[in-house]
Structure 1
């Protein structure tokens, strides 16, 4: 079965995105989506020598947490923009040491930080052990680093065991 569908999750995702891009549902559109969802992973399988292990239950919980944090951070940034002056901002560059090992986990970690308003991940060190992040407003950089590691990195270790 692995040879016929080497990446089942990717196949399902391709079919769903094909249906969304078609913007209508018909049997023909669905069949084309299924063909794309089956053929594309077969041709790209040699480029994916090892797949990361993913805990989907922990991944869903992580997704809910990130969406919640994005919504809350949007309101916090709006309050900063509307009610504070620029001179009151305390921007900082944060160097976050990472315990994550896989490239997929590091990518999700950096993406999560960039998606959350008020922080942007800018660089990963050459050794892959540190992430450079710019924070728009932080009173205590060390506390912010600890918060990011506890809130996101610890949970990502469960998503990518």
Structure 2
């Protein structure tokens, strides 16, 4: 199993199979616009712009489970573009915990549990780095700045994806 088995709704309402990111290094993040950690959008965008041509993408998944993303998908997209000039892919709001959690986050949490084996996402801006084969590589805490992840991204970009067939 890999992240490629999942489909997610983009912030504009279109469905996107994550298999379209096959062969890329992904940083999947649950984001929120009204959070004290929202300035991380700028760091995420810097990483995306620096490495996207080498096969890297940031995938932002807004969530209101921590009561910091109350707006509509349209309002979220507008905020991200206006405030942080976000160009990385944003998806429609999802639950990251509980009975209505998006299956992608259920999978990521099983593959990369948090501190002391906890699977719950504790706050906005929890980050999951995924290798070129769609396998979750590492989970980062909400307070881990995007710049801290850069060395791991570079290391994974140097690896070639496994060949299928």
Q: TM-score, normalised by structure 1?
A: 0.26
Return the structure number with greater strand share.
Answer: 2
The structure having more radius of gyration, on CA atoms, is 1
Give TM-score, length-normalised by structure 2.
0.25
Structure with bigger helix share is 1
The one of the two structures with greater contact order (alpha-carbon pairs below 8 A, sep at least 6) is 2
